[in-house]
Structure 1
Amino acid sequence: MVNIYEFIREINPGIVGKFENRHKEKFDVILYGAGEVGKDFLDRYDLSDINIVYYCDDDRDKWGKCLNGTLIISPEELLNISSNVPVCVTINEPDEPARKLLKAGIKNLLHRYSLYYLLNLDKLQKVYDLLCDSNSKKVFLGLIEYVYTQNPEIFGRITTSTEQYFLEDIFSFDNNECIIDGGAYTGDTIQSYLDICRGNYGKIYSFEPDKGNFEKLRAMLLELGDAAKGIEIYNKGIYSSSGAVGFSNNDSFDSCIVKTSPCMIEVIAIDNIFMDNRITMIKLDIEGAETDAILGAEKLLKAQKPKLAICNYHLPSDLWTVILQINEFVPEYKFFLRHHNVHSWYESVLYAKL
């Protein structure tokens, strides 16, 4: 059995030691990215005793100015700073910037989740212990290794398939599957399953709250004709309770719930709608609302124990909150983790079955 603390310490011993000693001597770090993520970094990840030495940003208009009282420097200036100070990439999509920094010679590079993970080692250990097969454990360790090295070659080692959700090496499917498709986008999940089942299925209930995506989803179903006879689509989100919530309507794959947004969408809780329906599988790719949706499906999960395919990468805590919440509801589930993108941290999916 791998000890997660020891695993991280072996990957990056300097980071672990300095972080553990931060209450005696502040942990110095440079944040690469002087935008909203960098601005809110300490509060967002509940970090204390961290000293931001510099911000660094590609935007030359920011150079020489200050953010939160800390100087913003250029990438060229960053190269002249001691490599003993770790550089944490505080950008929403950090993979490509991290590649550039590594190529430029920055070696002590961290993902923005790295320090937050050190605060939650007990939860990470629980996740590792719950995973059922060696492939899942390999994926999990690979994702953690990337957080502490930003080495993109890791993705090639942990990606076995770019096809998601309906993995026949994990699940078996019959001709009467009844699937909840949370985050239907424009119909890609529907099409994937129709290709697998060759048109033989029970029901598919697809939810897509983004208006633009939903209209494309509707058009896709019209093109399918009779093949879509068992598919129902809803311009709604899935959440912990039924009602209305704020939403960022981007007409794209990453439209998401934003509680402070003035744009409101209707959401449903699975337990409120489907308790009297036979459900054999739930798929969720809902941009950070996965744990909320699981909370709203507690009764159905306990009663029917459907197959699950749940994205677990949108929020920093998703790597543990998704699996631990499901395990609390249904301890009998067996859990599997797969990564589906050879180029990026994104697209890891937690699978569960009896």
Structure 2
Amino acid sequence: MSWRRKRQGIEMLQKIYSKFIDQKSKEIFKSRLLFSLTGDYSEICKIVSGTDQAAEIRHKISFSKDRHVFLWGTGFWGDHLIKSFPDIKWQGYVDNSPRESQKNGMPVYDPQEFLKIYSGQPIFIATAFYHEEIHHQLLSYGIGEDKIINAGKLMVDLFDSQYFDLPFLPHAEDEVFVDAGCFDGLTVRNFIKWSGGKYREIISFEPDAVCLEKCRAVLKDVENLTLENMGLWSSKGVLSFHATGNSDSQIAEEGETRITTGMLDEIAGDRRITFIKMDIEGAEKEALMGAQNIIRNQKPKLAISIYHKKEDIWELPALLLEMNPEYQFYLRHYSLREAETVLYAV
């Protein structure tokens, strides 16, 4: 790489950095950038530590004289908690159906074994799926509420708050909202709540057929909603797609099925788009390129996932500033691991 290109790259990073409105966004950008360049997970730990949920976790642990902590659940959520909170003294796992006696160098107990050795340490509920049932189970064992850290609920609450929690996002009564990656319909519901039901139209895109049917079922009562069974891209066509029926579905060369793609510029027609959200598993750059006329001429509010690819953290802001240099940015993080970082452009 020539010195001129290096200098241009540095200048672009400086320009992006200057566009972040608040210090929190700047700190997330620096850590996210360093994580992309070095793979140093301590940068993700810094981002996670800045969430209210991490502060609540540390507050609860601070009341324990013995900082040793158990994890209830042996799934991947527990693995992420261990990585994101390396300073916590993890003592072991508990699982209702343990498949192994050890994990990550720590013992795995079934509930009865655990109760025999338990002596009042904090317990992390390390699953986002059955956290309420496990919470009730722990209470039934006589374990005090002050000893239970429902990390599962904290993770769900944090995830569910994304896209609409910023007080800096202005709302108009004629909102036309584009939901790229409808998945389970939750974002549409949250948009309606955020807008107070005052909007003109919602246009949702979901290329996964299984997810689309789920969305149709849960959103059947929503007015002025268009559900499109296609993916957004930089061109109209047909692409290979890996369909999983969950949030991992994505455009992929080795995909076992084919989907139709389209450009938002063409699909929107003469609509005035006011808000675009994208969480489309790495296709964000291509989809933004297919919406460049809208971005240039209408300057909609944007909430764009910026973590699927390492280069997203600099390529997506640079692309948006090329399309419309008037944008200013916020960054927020919505998980206790490396996923769910959102770039807001206003």
Show CA shifts across 1:35-89 (max 9, x none): xxxxxxxxxxxxxxxxxxxxxxxxxxxxxxxxxxxxxxxxxxxxxxxxxxxxxxx
- Give the alignment partner of residue 301 of structure 2, picking from 291, 299, 307: 307
**Does the CA-based 8 Å contact 2:243-2:256 persist in structure 1?**
no
Q: Which moved more, 1:237-246 or 1:252-261?
A: 252-261
Q: Which residue of 2 aligns with 1:211?
A: 209
Q: Which residue of 2 aligns with 1:201?
A: 199
Is residue 40 of structure 2 the alignment partner of residue 158 of structure 1? Answer: no
Q: Which residue of 2 aligns with 1:263?
A: 257
- Give the alignment partner of residue 344 of structure 1, picking from 314, 337, 342: 337
- For the residue of structure 1 that corresponds to 2:177, the secondary structure is strand
List gaps (5 residues or longer) in structure 1: 1-119
- Give the alignment partner of residue 327 of structure 1, picking from 315, 321, 325: 321
TM-score of the two chains, using structure 2 as the length reference: 0.62
- For the residue of structure 2 that corresponds to 1:206, the secondary structure is strand
- For the residue of structure 2 that corresponds to 1:212, the secondary structure is helix
**Does the CA-based 8 Å contact 1:176-1:200 persist in structure 2?**
yes
Cα 1:303–1:345, aligned 2, differ >3 Å: closer, same or farther?
same
Q: Distance in 2 between matches of 1:146 and 1:315?
A: 11
Q: Relative contact order (alpha carbons < 8 A, sep ≥ 6): 1 or 2 greater?
A: 2
**Does the CA-based 8 Å contact 1:275-1:299 persist in structure 2?**
no
CA drift of 1:142 comes to 2.9
CA drift of 1:313 comes to 0.6
**Does the CA-based 8 Å contact 1:138-1:158 persist in structure 2?**
no
TM-score of the two chains, using structure 1 as the length reference: 0.61
Q: Which amino acid aligns with 2:268?
A: F
Q: Which residue of 1 aligns with 2:25?
A: 136
Q: Distance in 2 between matches of 1:352 and 1:134?
A: 16
- For the residue of structure 2 that corresponds to 1:278, the secondary structure is coil
**Does the CA-based 8 Å contact 1:246-1:264 persist in structure 2?**
yes
Is residue 281 of structure 2 the alignment partner of residue 287 of structure 1? Answer: yes
Q: Distance in 1 between matches of 2:269 and 2:15?
A: 30
Q: Which residue of 2 aligns with 1:171?
A: 169
**Does the CA-based 8 Å contact 1:159-1:338 persist in structure 2?**
no
Q: Distance in 2 between matches of 1:144 and 1:158?
A: 16
- For the residue of structure 1 that corresponds to 2:219, the secondary structure is helix
**Does the CA-based 8 Å contact 1:181-1:206 persist in structure 2?**
yes
Q: Which amino acid aligns with 2:327?
A: Y
Q: Distance in 1 between matches of 2:50 and 2:13?
A: 18
- Matched-pair identity in %: 35
CA drift of 1:122 comes to 6.0
Cα RMSD after superposing both structures: 2.2
- For the residue of structure 2 that corresponds to 1:324, the secondary structure is helix
Show CA shifts across 1:214-270 (max 9, x none): 010010112xx2xx1111101111100111111000101010001343411011101
**Does the CA-based 8 Å contact 2:177-2:203 persist in structure 1?**
yes
Q: Which amino acid aligns with 1:127?
A: I
Q: Distance in 2 between matches of 1:124 and 1:205?
A: 33
Q: Distance in 2 between matches of 1:174 and 1:168?
A: 15
Aligned residues: 231
Q: Which amino acid aligns with 1:183?
A: G
Q: Which moved more, 1:272-281 or 1:143-152?
A: 143-152
Q: Distance in 2 between matches of 1:181 and 1:298?
A: 16
Cα 1:305–1:275, aligned 2, differ >3 Å: closer, same or farther?
farther
CA drift of 1:193 comes to 1.1
Q: Distance in 2 between matches of 1:174 and 1:309?
A: 16
**Does the CA-based 8 Å contact 1:142-1:158 persist in structure 2?**
no
Q: Distance in 2 between matches of 1:146 and 1:259?
A: 26
**Does the CA-based 8 Å contact 1:313-1:346 persist in structure 2?**
yes
Cα 1:263–1:122, aligned 2, differ >3 Å: closer, same or farther?
farther
Is residue 161 of structure 2 the alignment partner of residue 272 of structure 1? Answer: no
Q: Which residue of 2 aligns with 1:91?
A: none
Q: Which amino acid aligns with 2:300?
A: P
Q: Which residue of 1 aligns with 2:178?
A: 180
CA drift of 1:188 comes to 1.1
